[in-house]
């Protein structure tokens, strides 16, 4: 077979392969777009519902746009209840809770991955098994404990109890196990303490999983409803979910104002995710389930 004949045979095959690859790319893009639309549709509907008059929220013929666009629903939702205070409370509790969760997770994960002590793996297994306990089982003993400590209706009661969970410990421990022990041994030989080794050698390599844990912890605190409902009595300490509940009264629910308030409440989480997007993607891609 001459080179010219071979070229005539190879070129059509290459073009067919390129067309197949292009079709796969378009198919994957279309599938991702459809999934993204399915997940974002409730938020889109929430935003447009927030712009409708109250009487048209449950109209017989659903539509995105009402007879008029009422931007005033956002200002009404902000002033009808002290919603700015609720967002501040939610933001403060979520940030402090995320910081405390990271500190607890880093220290406990380091202990379970690097320190050697009797029954270490068995204790870690028991620790991880606490993840199967639903929040509804924990709220009663936690409330009793908070009441005995005199912390009911306080920021501390909102922050402390659920910072000591096994999720962050499990996540970071898996990442600790992927870091070669030689890095730590070299620092210890040079005279660094364990805390200095943890701070200067190990933590800089954990930016991605720490970002993942921070976002998960922030969203968990920010969206928590059952525990704040039980532990908080005053309106001054109410968080966003409790604030959204206040749009429901004895005369019904003000749906357009509730959707406007919910739209405002989503903004802090979007900002956090947008700021940490690169680290989140890296952390999820790494997976953190290696070990040795």
**What does the pLDDT read at residue 288?**
42
Lowest mean pLDDT among 102-111, 126-135, 246-255, 279-288: 279-288
Query: For residue 97, is pLDDT > 90?
Result: yes
Question: How does residue 102 score in pLDDT terms, banded at 50, 70 and 90?
Answer: very high
* Dihedral, CA of residue 209, residue 211, residue 212 and residue 215, to nearest 10: 160
Q: d(Cα 290, Cα 292) in Å, to the nearest integer?
A: 7
Q: Which of 262, 225, 205 is nearest to 50 (CA)?
A: 262
User: pLDDT per residue over 217-273, tens digit each?
Assistant: 998 999 999 999 999 998 899 999 998 888 887 667 888 889 999 998 888 878 877
pLDDT of residue 88: 92
Mean pLDDT score, 115-140? 87
pLDDT interval class at 155 (50, 70, 90): very high
> What's the whole-model pTM score?
0.81
pLDDT of residue 282: 66
* pLDDT higher than threshold 90 for residue 277: no
Picking from 48-57, 66-75, 109-118, 184-193, which range would have the lowest pLDDT averaged per residue? 184-193
Mean pLDDT of 3-30: 70
- Overall average pLDDT of the 6-15 stretch: 60
Under 8 Å CB-to-CB from 187, ≥6 apart: which residues? 196, 197, 200, 201
pLDDT band at 89 (very low <50, low <70, confident <90, very high): very high
Q: What is the pLDDT of residue 272?
A: 79
- Check whether 132 has a pLDDT greater than 80: yes
201 or 86, which is more confident: 86
| 112 membership: H or E segment, kind and range | helix 83-114
pLDDT for residue 117:
84
Q: What is the pLDDT of residues 19-63, one digit of tens each?
A: 777 778 888 888 988 998 898 888 888 998 888 888 888 877 777
Confidence of residue 7 (pLDDT cuts 50, 70, 90): low
Residue 99 has pLDDT above 90, yes or no: yes
pLDDT-derived band at 14 (thresholds 50, 70, 90) equals: low
b/e per residue 199-210 (b: at least 16 CB within 10 A): eebbeeebebbb
pLDDT digits (tens, 9 = 90+) for 167-216: 889 888 888 888 888 888 788 888 878 888 888 888 888 888 888 888 88
- Candidates 224, 44, 16, 31; CA nearest to 139 is 224
Where are any strands of DSSP class E within 165-251?
248-249
pLDDT recorded at residue 279: 67
């Amino acid at each position: 077979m001459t080179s010219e004949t071979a070229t005539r045979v190879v070129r059509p095959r290459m073009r067919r392969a390129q067309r197949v690859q292009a079709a796969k790319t378009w198919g994957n893009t279309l599938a991702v777009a459809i999934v993204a639309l399915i997940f974002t549709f409730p938020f889109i509907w929430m935003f447009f519902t927030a712009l409708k008059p109250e009487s048209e929220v449950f109209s017989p013929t659903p539509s995105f746009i009402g007879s008029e666009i009422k931007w005033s629903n956002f200002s009404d939702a902000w002033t009808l209840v002290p919603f700015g205070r609720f967002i501040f409370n939610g933001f403060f509790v979520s940030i402090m809770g995320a910081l405390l969760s990271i500190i607890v997770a880093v220290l406990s994960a380091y202990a379970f991955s690097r320190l050697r002590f009797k029954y270490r793996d068995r204790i870690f297994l028991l620790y991880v098994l606490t993840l199967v306990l639903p929040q509804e089982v924990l709220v009663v003993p936690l409330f009793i404990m908070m009441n005995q400590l005199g912390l009911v209706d306080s920021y501390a009661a909102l922050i402390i109890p659920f910072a000591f969970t096994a999720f962050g410990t499990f996540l970071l421990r898996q990442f600790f196990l992927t870091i070669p022990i030689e890095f730590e041994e070299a620092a210890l030989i040079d005279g660094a303490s364990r805390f200095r080794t943890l701070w200067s050698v190990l933590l800089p390599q954990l930016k991605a999983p720490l970002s993942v844990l921070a976002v998960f912890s922030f969203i968990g605190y920010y969206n928590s409803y059952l525990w704040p409902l039980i532990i908080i009595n005053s309106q001054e300490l109410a968080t966003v979910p409790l604030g959204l509940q206040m749009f429901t009264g004895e005369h019904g629910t003000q749906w357009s104002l509730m959707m406007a308030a919910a739209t405002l409440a989503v903004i802090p989480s979007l900002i956090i995710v947008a700021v940490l997007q690169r680290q989140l993607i890296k952390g999820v891609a790494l997976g953190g389930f290696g070990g040795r």
